[in-house]
Amino acid sequence: MRKSRNRAIGATVLAIALLASACSSGGDSTDGPTIVIGSANFSEAALVAEIYAQALEADGISVERKLNTGSREIYAPALEAGELDLVPEYVGTALTFLGGTASGDTDATAEALAETWGANGIAVLDPAPAQDKNGIVVRADTAADLGLTKTSDLAAHNGTLVFGGPPECPEREFCLIGLTDVYGLQFAEFKPLDVGGPLTVAALEGDEIQVALLFTSDGVISAKGFVLLEDDLGLQPAENLVPAVRQEIIDAYGGAVERVLNAVSAKLTTDQLSLMNKQIGIDGLDPDTVASDWLEANGLK
């Protein structure tokens, strides 16, 4: 009797174990290979990569950091070769790099990127609302006085405002040419300054210019309280941040990696990215701390 009972118990335990295994095989798992995370070699990309890393670690997934890997010409082939497993990307620039054509439509650009890169085994997950692209910026008092919230609002003040930006702006389709052709804008003057740098910021603060070209996630926008006007006619190609990850890693973790990274993307906005860039680049805070604080504030850690 004792021997028969032990066999029955053993059979029951085995059945339960097999059932549990069957149930878990199609769901999320934290068991898998260490995920090697890289990034482009500038602070914003490294920050977002650190956010990805900490979010995955908080979910029990092992990661290795190889941040500031280099330019896209370096990290994109490394990703395809399996030397890296995950990088933060910008949908428009990445698609253009791969030979595609980006547009101002985030969903269409992200879908085209996913299709193009998917052929090489790279999955493109959900894009974040956060974008780093050319942005038209004014001072807060200018926005209030003239009722400016979107770029098309500037047309009501044609011929009265001075615009400043990179010296090459008049010859660029996404700068002065596009502002004229797409928005019908006419400025009293264009002042050649620098590429989203201190000359442009100083000129805007000093009212030498009233409209400036800066990058949308630049920390100075948050630091100075500038107003970023909405690109309501879609002049600029979409440049939403998006996780690019090897499909083998997605498959190995049974949905866990997608769940974690898509949750990060859902919370990451341009304003928040600008604030974090300010905290690092202007306030001098440690990127690891900034990433951790953001994750905790958004219930992701």
Q: What is the pLDDT of residues 153-179, one digit of tens each?
A: 999 999 999 999 999 999 988 899 999
Phi, psi of 124 (to 5 degrees): -110, 115
Which pair of structure tokens corresponds to residue 197? 């740098």
Q: Which segments of 42-175 does DSSP mark as H helices, in order?
A: 43-58, 72-81, 91-97, 106-118, 140-146
CATH architecture of the domain 134-229 equals 3-Layer(aba) Sandwich (3.40)
CB atoms within 10 A of CB 296: 12
Fold category of 35-131+238-297 in CATH: D-Maltodextrin-Binding Protein; domain 2 (3.40.190)
- Report whether pLDDT(38) > 80: yes
Q: Are 240 and 127 in contact (CB under 8 A)?
A: yes
From the number of C-beta atoms within 10 Å of its C-beta (0-12, 13-18, 19+), residue 216 rates as buried
In 3D space, the residue among 247, 264, 254, 261 whose CA is nearest the CA of residue 28 turns out to be: 254
Domain locations in the chain as residue ranges: 35-131+238-297, 134-229
List the beta bridge partners of residue 90.
241
Q: Are 27 and 55 in contact (CB under 8 A)?
A: no
Same fold, 35-131+238-297 and 134-229: yes
Q: Which helix (H) or strand (E) holds 15?
A: helix 2-25
Please compute the mean of the pLDDT values over residues 132-161 and round it to a whole number.
97
pTM of the prediction? Answer: 0.81
Share above pLDDT 70 across residues of the chain, in percent, rounded to a whole number: 91
More confident residue, 186 or 16: 186
CB atoms within 10 A of CB 4: 8
Q: Which segments of 59-105 does DSSP mark as H helices, in order?
A: 72-81, 91-97
CA distances from 52 to 31, 207, 268, 295 (A): 17, 40, 11, 10
